[in-house]
């Protein structure tokens, strides 16, 4: 029974999603529809919560301070409206849910950063999609020549 659920779960997943963790500073690119127009809106902030990792319901909650007011947005990573997620900074944290960050401002809201390879982590979805298409075309059988 779990294999059927795994197949259904994978059918709703995007081929490649960035491995976001709590404590990461991210830029989330989201498609916004207003009437007949579509645009991409970028939301920068700190990931204070991750949930359901590994499944098609993988969700992150991102917090930022806008005009002195704390704003939190929750994103489904496998949603077709989320076009890209970039990790700009990775911090060392000991928890999954950073609710204590809501009460902090100024210097106390800073987290100690750790070094990581941005290029390796932030592989663009378009590049990975092209790479998978190239790999599939390589797997096609070649015609035999006499």
pLDDT of amino acid 124: 57
Question: Going by C-beta distance under 8 Å and a sequence separation of 6 or more, which residues neighbour residue 88?
Answer: 24, 25, 26, 27, 44, 118
Averages of pLDDT over runs of 10 residues in the chain (146 residues) are 73 74 91 93 93 82 90 90 90 89 85 81 55 44 48
Assess if CATH 2.30.30.790 describes domain 18-135.
yes
**DSSP H or E stretch at residue 132:** helix 125-139
Sorted by where each begins, the domain ranges of the chain are 18-135
């Amino acid at each position: 029974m779990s294999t059927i659920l795994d197949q259904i779960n994978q059918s709703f997943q995007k081929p490649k999603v960035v491995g976001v963790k709590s404590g990461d500073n991210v830029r989330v690119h989201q498609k916004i529809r207003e009437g007949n127009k579509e645009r991409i809106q970028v939301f920068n902030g700190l990931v204070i919560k991750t949930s359901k990792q590994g499944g098609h319901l993988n969700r992150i909650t991102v917090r930022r301070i806008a005009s002195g007011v704390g704003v939190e947005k929750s994103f489904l990573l496998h949603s077709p409206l989320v076009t890209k997620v970039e990790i700009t900074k990775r911090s060392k944290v000991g928890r999954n849910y950073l609710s204590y960050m809501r009460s902090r401002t100024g210097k106390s809201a800073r987290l100690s950063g750790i070094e990581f390879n941005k290029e390796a982590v932030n592989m663009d979805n378009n590049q990975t999609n092209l790479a998978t298409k190239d790999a599939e075309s390589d797997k096609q059988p070649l015609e035999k020549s006499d």
